[in-house]
Chains A and B, each alone.
Chain A
Amino acid sequence: MNPHHGGVGWAVLDAVAVLVLAAGAAGYAAALWWSRHRSPWPPGRTVLWFAGLGCAGAALLGPLARAAHGSFPAHMVVHLLLGMAAPLLLVLAAPVTLVLRALPVAGARALTRFLRTPPVRAVTHPVVAGTLDAGGLWVLYTTGLYAAMHASALVHAAVHAHVLLAGYLFTAAVAGADPDPHRASFRLRAAVLIGFLAVHSVLAKRLYGNPPPGVGTADAQLGAQVMYYGGDAVHVALLVVFFARWYAAGRPRAGAAVARASRVSPPSRRRPGPRARRRAPRAGPG
């Protein structure tokens, strides 16, 4: 596992990463510009988007990305940034809501229709998204894929794209800020979240004693602990977001809520059901 400086494939990979990050930054900025006549966009969300891109950039380019070619602990830091921290920040920036505000009505309707097509519904379901994310990690660290991603730029790119996208889908399915006409129930999302946290910690502990081929014992032990404790830190942040949504959804409303308060107690039940949300798909701020 040498650092592959100078290979054409690796140079292309860096260029693609720069282009993707630049497109993400430019796209968000353009959507902000096109929706400037609407109600003000919370500045915190813009900060979160660029912080998320920054996390992804630190993971894909620069000294950390180079170190990750030869060092398992550095690879784990990349994994935490790209697969967990960046997706959480990007999801909290509510990019779909922003794009819906920026598009003309016909375009927004088309996007909403696309988001309701069966394939999109399937991959944004918590069970599917959680399985894609956790399953991808399991395959990466228990098969020869880990060694392959350091031998081939193409495999490297595919693994990184999967880690970022699956992380985004999982985070959005469990604690998304964007409107989701088919948001799964609180219980299902809670069960998927607990299952994912459990699989992540089991995998981290397994790596301690059973590293992927080509990783030395000391590197594996340090990397496994980075995955376990670093994963805990991001998971606690994810849990805070998850429960903050539950808390906000159960806000007692003055007046109107008084009649309902007597019969509905758990806040999760007070969210509008899927039927109500279908009629109002653009339930974001704005």
Chain B
Amino acid sequence: MADASAARSGRAPEPADPAGQDRRGVLAGVLLGAGIAASVVDLAVFHLILHWHHFYDLSTTGVALFSDGLFHAFGWFVTVGSLFLLADVRRRGPAPWGRWTGGLLTGLGGFQLLDGVVLHKVLRIHQVRYDVDLLLYDVTWIGSAVLALTVGLAVLHRTRPAR
């Protein structure tokens, strides 16, 4: 795919630095996974489609509100930035798609795990859903996060560059 794009732009790909390409490919995946989890999943799925998350909880404290805002800003920043980073990796040489996919799942699972454990349970900023028994929701949330994280790490392990 990268060869095709280099041919289209009529530009010979630069002599690629394989370790750098690999590292940046994984980073683009991890950041996109974390960004999607922080911005798109939370906004589209839980706020707009399911209406489980409240726009604003009147009991929300100032600290919680500020950390929420920071997460929100960070989520959009890395979502957009990671796509440009992937484009940059692709124009410099063949994109490591396997490594990128592993990074994507790792970032997605890692962020959901952080969100589910630290923000929901430890800091109690907000919950998955309100007015219901939370155990099933928390188990599903944290379980799916651990699953994505495990699969992501396994993919990264299997596709690691030979040294």
Contacts and interface: CB of A to CB of B under 8 A. Distances in A.
Interface string B1-35: 00000000001111101001000000000000000
Given A228-B55, A246-B84, A205 B77 contact: no
Given A198-B66, A198-B73, A208 B91 contact: no
B68 interface: yes
B81 A201 contact: no
Interface string A185-220: 000001001111111111001101100000000000
A205 B73 contact: no
A190 B77 contact: yes
Contacts of A240: 80
B56 A194 contact: no
Interface residues of B, number: 30
B76 to A, nearest CB: 6
Given A198-B72, A205-B68, A205-B69, A252 B81 contact: no
The secondary structure that dominates the B interface is helix
Nearest to B10: A254
A267 interface: yes
Looking at chain A, what size class is its interface with the partner chain? 35 or more
A218 to B, nearest CB: 14
Interface string B88-100: 1001100000000
B65 interface: yes
Contact of A247 (B55, B56, B70, B84): B84
Nearest to B71: A198
Contact of B81 (A225, A228, A243, A262): A243
A204 B49 CA distance: 21
12 contacts: A197-B72, A198-B70, A202-B69, A209-B56, A235-B73, A239-B76, A252-B14, A252-B91, A254-B11, A258-B15, A262-B15, A267-B88
B56 A208 contact: yes
Contacts of A201: 68-69, 72-73
A250 B77 contact: no
A261 interface: yes
A197 B77 contact: yes
A62 to B, nearest CB: 30
A250 B88 contact: yes
Contacts of B55: 205, 208, 221, 224-225, 228
Interface of B: 11-15, 17, 20, 43, 55-56, 58, 60, 65-66, 68-70, 72-74, 76-77, 80-81, 83-84, 87-88, 91-92
A254 B92 CA distance: 11
B21 to A, nearest CB: 10
A22 interface: no
Most A CB atoms within 10 A — which of B12, B15, B20, B80?
B80
A14 B110 CA distance: 53
A15 interface: no
A179 to B, nearest CB: 22
A264 B20 CA distance: 11
Contacts of A199: 69
Interface string A226-262: 0010001001100110111011001010100110011
A232 B56 CA distance: 16
Interface string A118-155: 00000000000000000000000000000000000000
